Amino acid sequence: MTRPVDAEGLAARFIADEAHESTHDRLVWGMRHNRDMAVAGVPEWEELRELASRIKEHTLAHLDRYLEEFEANATKLGTHVHWARDSEEHNAVVYEILHAHGVKSLTKSKSMLQEECGMTPYLQKRGIEVTESDLGERIQQLDGEPPSHIVVPAIHKLRSDVAALFARDLGTDPTNADPHYLAEAMRQDARPRFMAADAGMTGANFAVAETGGFVVCTNEGNADIGASVPPLHIASIGIEKLIPRARDLGVFIRMLSRSALGSAITQFTSHFHGPRRDGELHVVLVDNTRSDRLGSPDFWHGLKCIRCGACMNTCPVYRRGSGLSYGATYSGPIGVILDPGFDIRKYRELPFHSSLCGSCTEVCPVKIDISDQIYKWRRVVAAKGLLTLTKRVGMRALGTTFAHPALFHAAESVGESAMVHLPRFLLYNSLNPWGKHRELPAAPKQTFRQWYIENRRNP
């Protein structure tokens, strides 16, 4: 049986490290703050959200049509279009293309989809060297960790962590944590790899049905070096990335980076329409559970996601526990609603790694009902019998107590210490978790009900 990810335990470990946790919370909250500032500069923000949401809903409702339109138009431009039902097919298609071109090394720009498919280990096992071109992503690759954030993959690391890592892998001075020094060391190490690569791989932020082109947004221009230097460019695109028309891009591009980092636009917004001269362009359109999700009345709206990371930045649980605590490709609130769709057993604890504060729903630029979906996933987990034993037994006992006034009033009967009652009828769990960092309230002399009977019924 699949062991569930222990999000709570992983988060607790991150929090125990005061320096990492407080810096992480401050930096990630800073992105939320910058988002607020950027949004304040766009008075029609709420209208844009509504428009973006409707464009995505419309596209998803007619996805078959738009996918075929995209394929036809991309093919006209000279792009090779491939289809992949799942991650295995995706990886096989990619490898086939690379193998046919005798590719030994490739430059890979950040792609959550390729992460989702486990592509890098798949290719490395087959002898292909993969170099991440996004700085944060490269840091994570060297450290053997997945990205902890969709947009800023190494945000959970301190400068000193990077200095230690680079000292180990790039031979830098371990005591020098100056960002310029470290970035320069990476540049010196990565540049020859980029220049020698046989292929470049990217993801895509948007694929336009009307034109057959696609758009990749980065802040480092790193997608462009992979797409421009080697003669072969392969882009992996989730089928939910489609939008109908080029002019719809304006809605999303205005929202993407404002939501993510609080900047008006990403530094690079690169449009690819067919292969470059003497080059070859391949697009792999990937389903990998997206069709299943599209058929789910409760969860299909998750496909509207444009991967901005705003929900992570605002999430108080994410900021405290870090993205790695989710143990999944997608972390934060969006991860909580996407991951169980991939593997409900493995990710059954994630819907409970949330205080249901609802802030994610409010910042989402495409109006995904994230918080409501987290609540609904809890019902799915319970209905499938996948709750922890403590919860299952506790909730059954609690439900019985609350259903019978006499039982409830006996449980809260005064004269005994509240210490006895708190876990039983309110916290329904071992007493220890509450008391680790918090005091319990003192028991009052009488309950409200008893006071009411004394003072209003029999005064």
* Interaction residues for another protein, span 407-426 (CB under 8 A): 408, 412, 418, 421, 425-426
405 binds another protein (CB under 8 A): yes
Nearer to another protein, 304 or 367 (CB): 367
Nearer to another protein, 183 or 410 (CB): 410
Tell me the angle at which helices 159-170 and 179-196 cross, rounded to the nearest 10 degrees.
40
Tell the smallest beta-carbon distance from residue 161 to another protein (Å). 20
Question: Residue 369: phi, psi to the nearest 5?
Answer: -80, 60
428 binds another protein (CB under 8 A): yes
Range 258-317, binding another protein (CB under 8 A): 314, 316-317
Nearer to another protein, 72 or 414 (CB): 414
Q: Which stretch binds another protein (CB under 8 A): 139-147, 243-251, 289-297, 347-355?
A: 347-355
Nearer to another protein, 144 or 399 (CB): 399
Nearer to another protein, 188 or 430 (CB): 430
Q: Which tokens sit at 24?
A: 């992480």
Identify the residue among 11, 239, 253, 281 touching another protein (CB under 8 A): 11
Range 172-191, binding another protein (CB under 8 A): none
Number of residues that make up the chain: 459
Identify the residue among 61, 396, 416, 420 touching another protein (CB under 8 A): 396
Rounded Cα distance between 156 and 176, Å, is 19
Rounded Cα distance between 203 and 134, Å, is 12
Rounded Cα distance between 448 and 351, Å, is 34
433 C-beta neighbours (distance < 10 Å), count: 12
- Residue 313's nearest CA partner among 65, 78, 28, 37 is 28
Nearer to another protein, 273 or 346 (CB): 346
Identify the residue among 395, 410, 419, 420 touching another protein (CB under 8 A): 395
Rounded Cα distance between 303 and 113, Å, is 13
Rounded Cα distance between 225 and 138, Å, is 15
347 binds another protein (CB under 8 A): no
Q: Which stretch binds another protein (CB under 8 A): 7-15, 55-63, 123-131, 282-290?
A: 7-15
Nearer to another protein, 273 or 378 (CB): 378
User: Pairing relation of β-strands 232-238 and 242-243?
Assistant: unpaired
- Residue 294's nearest CA partner among 92, 66, 49, 47 is 66
SS3 308: coil
Tell the smallest beta-carbon distance from residue 301 to another protein (Å). 17
The single-letter DSSP state of residue 231 is: S
Tell the smallest beta-carbon distance from residue 436 to another protein (Å). 6
SS3 283: strand
Range 116-155, binding another protein (CB under 8 A): none
Which residues sit opposite 270 in a β-bridge? 216
Rg (CA), the chain: 25
331 binds another protein (CB under 8 A): no
Q: What binding mask, one character per residue, do residues 349-388 give for another protein by CB under 8 A, x or -?
A: --xxxxxxxxx-xxx-------x---x-xxxxxxx---x-
